[in-house]
Amino acid sequence: MMSTHRALMVFADPALHRSRISRRVGDAVRSLPGVQVQDLYELYPDFFIDARNERSLLKQSDLLIFGFQLAWYSMPSLLKEWVDVVFKPEWAEGAGPLRGKSCWVAVACNSMEADYRPGGRHGRPLTDYLAPLEQAARACGMHWIEPHVYYGADRADAQAIDAHAAELRELMAAHIARLPAPQAIEGGGHGA
Amino acid sequence: MEHSVLTVAMVYLAAAVVAVPLARALGLGAVLGYLLAGIAIGPWGMGLISNVETILHFSEFGVVLLLFVIGLELEPQRLWSLRRSIFGWGAAQVGGVTAVLCVAAWLAGISWQVALIAALGLSLSSTAIALTTMQERNLLPTPAGQAGFSILLFQDIAAIPMIALVPVLGAADAHADAGAGGALKAAGVIVGLLVVGHYLVRPVLRVIARTHMREIFTAFALLLVISVSLLMSWVGMSMALGAFLAGVLLADSEYRHALETDLEPFKGLLLGLFFIAVGMSVDFGVFLAQPWRILGLALGFLVLKTGVMYLLARAFGMAGRQRTLFAFLLSQGGEFAFVVFGAAATARAFSEETASILVLVVALSMMATPLLLIFYDRVLEPRWNGQRKKRKSDPIEANEGHVIIAGFGRFGQIVGRLLHANQVPLTMLDHDPDHIDTLRDFGFKVFYGDATRIDLLTAAGAEKARALVIAIDGIEDSLKLAEAVRREFPQLPILARARNITHYYELMDLGVTVVERETFESALMMGRRVLEQLGFGAYLSRQAAMRFREHNLKTVLEVYPYYKDREQYVSQARRANEELHAMFERDFVAIKRDREDEDA
């Protein structure tokens, strides 16, 4: 039962069958030791999330990664449901079990970087659209790592996608390596 | 020597039972086994059987049934689309082989009449050998198989004018009694066959199917084939061709698979009998009189025919690796050659001796086919394969496999309609003829038959199916089917509907991984509606139902290892009540715990 993963990737793509990128990224990341990938649309197609299980996975992880493709300037709906159900404020906020863990977002979008500028098609930088996630993570006492953005997803060819998947995998390995030693989080015993 | 029918049957069956497994074990194939068995029991072997010709005649029904079954697999539109292939390939093959053989014989100093008749007869190949082999190897869908099939079909048609032509070339003034009246009769019979087949046979099949008496269904299937064949032979056409047409007429009917399944054993045995008879008809007296000459003739014939076939295949643009196999498959002389040479001898177009030599050459060439195929398998194929492996293998096309639904009642229908709406090809099996009619009216492909029979599933293409959905009513039948499919088609995924929880567990015992309790989801929906009615609110009701669902699925799996004990308890009413009580208790505690957990 005890899995030994250190990173939990919460992965959501409602259209995996026609996604050019998500599958490759998911596969690449899954092969990293110490990473557990939760493919939400595969696990919870009826949008009924097993919150108990998700929380226990979260508790075992030191790094939480959100992997998704932008859907109308936000995350896919099931991922939002996941955040709502799993991050119940009374469980997650303040000195809750998420405190001290790290949070990272790997997001892909179809537009180019130039579109995400003041005056551009989308008006503001992409990271602005990630503000709710960032603030939620901070509110739970998590350490926010600079998000990784992949632009022009719909025009990437197979080669570019492979390169992207490999890059993400490396970045993730680096983030995991930089995590504080496990006991530093577990131990402590701040008292109640 | 007089034989009773049973004694003869015993000798045949014994010969087949001994020779065929032996031949198989030696890697020689069933056809060669039958031929050897025939030689062993024939006049030149142990001499157990003498009246070879009668048996050869009777066993022709093996070929007839073979063509009927092949006809069943060819819908009229597909046959129509093959017409170019049949006449193109067929005419090229018969014309090419006849020309080359005729010229060769003429150069050897044989009179042109004899040469022509011999060449015509020898250009025909053995439907029984070639088709059986192609079916065994699943070659029919390949280009070589299609070409071979077209040629064999053309030969069956071409044999008729040949047999009519032979007396004209002969010395005796035997006039073909066919004439205009004969042609009219033949045309009439074919039109009659089309009408009767379409408007009468299917209703009769339906009535018989409704009696649920399998043996009557089988009897009718046999009756149908035999009467069509006799009718055709009465108007002077090939029996096999008639049976083939009858098969095509029924190809798009719902009884296709059932007919195929029922006739399969007869077909196999009668074909075996045919090969045995061919083996017996080899006249070693003629052979021993001039062995080298006959072996030379047989060899020369095989080389010429195979060579022409190979060149034809190349001219028609067949892939290189298939050409040799194709040429080998059709290299032998056929059944019709016996008829042609017989007719020629009767019409004194050539001597009895010439006829028996030619018959011997044909029989030897039939025996050579299995040997050529062994040579192909053991020597040529491995060599080519070795070459091919160095190349990158072609990507396999996306599977075009279908889903088989066994049982098309209230449950199977919904599954089927969902899949159909998503363009998943379906094969449905059901045993209620009335039901089938209605469904076919709406354009569904539903076949009549008892889905628990593994041979029917085989006929329905279980080998190439992507999944099997078991949606039949009877628990016992459902388990029987699941077990048989696990055994015969271990790679075929089974998705089954369970009538109740014990059925659910029993299916799991058989390794069926996807099981749906038939009433579970709809009962859950009903519970959800009740909660709504009570004022829970639509969303909260949904969450409650989903939570219960998740919990229930987990519990069912947790209890699985103990279900056999539980079943014993449940058999006693008092215990059953306790069990129910315990289940209620478990649900309540678990759901409460889940909710608390989720809230905090």
- Partners of A38 in beta bridges: A10
Question: How wide is the angle at C-alpha A137 spanned by C-alphas A136 and A141, nearest 5°?
Answer: 115
- Residue B343's Cβ-count burial label (10 Å; 0-12, 13-18, 19+) is buried
Per the CB < 8 A criterion, the answer to whether A33 and A8 are in contact is no
How many residue contacts between A and B have a Cβ separation below 8 Å? 19
Least confident of A121-125, B58-62, B467-471: B58-62
Q: For position B22, what pLDDT does the model report?
A: 84
Nearest chain B residue to A91 by CA distance is B600
Contact B600 A51 (CB under 8 A): no
Residue B459 pLDDT more than 90? no
Of B194, B192, B217, B195, which Cα lies nearest the Cα of B206?
Answer: B217
**DSSP character for B561?**
G
- Partners of A69 in beta bridges: A108
Q: Count CB-CB contacts under 10 A for residue A82.
A: 23
Query: Which residues in chain A have Cβ-Cβ distances shorter than 8 Å to B597?
Result: 51-52
Residue-wise pLDDT for B159-185, tens only, equals 777 877 776 776 544 444 445 566 777
Per the CB < 8 A criterion, the answer to whether B174 and B167 are in contact is yes
B316 CB-near residues (< 8 Å, 6+ apart): B88, B89, B92, B147
Of A75, A73, A61, A57, which Cα lies nearest the Cα of A186?
Answer: A61
Q: For position A115, what pLDDT does the model report?
A: 92
Torsion A115-A121-A124-A129 (CA) sign: negative
Of A50, A85, A88, the CB nearest to B550: A50
Residue-wise pLDDT for B556-585, tens only, equals 888 788 777 766 555 555 555 666 677 777
Least confident of B343-357, B480-494, B538-552: B343-357
A143 CB-near residues (< 8 Å, 6+ apart): A100, A101, A102, A103
Angle between helix B335-346 and B52-72 (nearest 10) = 130
**DSSP character for A154?**
G
Rounded average pLDDT over B67-73 = 79
B209 CB-near residues (< 8 Å, 6+ apart): B217, B255, B258, B433, B448
Q: Which ipTM did the prediction report?
A: 0.73
Q: For position A191, what pLDDT does the model report?
A: 36
Residue-wise pLDDT for B227-239, tens only, equals 888 888 887 777 7
Question: How wide is the angle at C-alpha B133 spanned by C-alphas B128 and B136, nearest 5°?
Answer: 125
Report how far residue A63's alpha carbon sits from residue A143's, in angstroms, rounded to the nearest whole number: 9
- Residue B215's Cβ-count burial label (10 Å; 0-12, 13-18, 19+) is exposed
Residue A189 pLDDT more than 80? no
Of B546, B599, B600, the CB nearest to A48: B546
What's the gap in Å between the CA of A112 and the closest CA on chain B? 34
Q: Pick from A17, A48, A58, A82 the residue to mutate for testing the B interface (most B CBs within 10 Å).
A: A48
Reported in sequence order, the residue ranges of B210-300 that DSSP labels E, i.e. its strands, are none
- Whether this prediction's pTM lies above 0.95 is answered by no
Q: For position B398, what pLDDT does the model report?
A: 32
Report how far residue A180's alpha carbon sits from residue B120's, in angstroms, rounded to the nearest whole number: 90
Nearest chain B residue to A86 by CA distance is B598
Torsion A37-A42-A45-A50 (CA) sign: negative
Q: Pick from B528, B543, B550 the residue to mutate for testing the A interface (most A CBs within 10 Å).
A: B550
Nearest chain A residue to B540 by CA distance is A48
B242 CB-near residues (< 8 Å, 6+ apart): B64, B193, B228, B229, B231, B232, B233
Q: How many CA atoms lie within 13 A of A189 on its CB side?
A: 1
Per the CB < 8 A criterion, the answer to whether B404 and B462 are in contact is yes
Of A50, A85, A90, the CB nearest to B600: A90
Query: Which residues in chain B have Cβ-Cβ distances shorter than 8 Å to A50?
Result: 550
Nearest chain A residue to B545 by CA distance is A48
List, as ranges, residues 547-576 from B with C-beta within 8 Å of A: 547, 549-550
Report how far residue B497's alpha carbon sits from residue A26's, in angstroms, rounded to the nearest whole number: 33
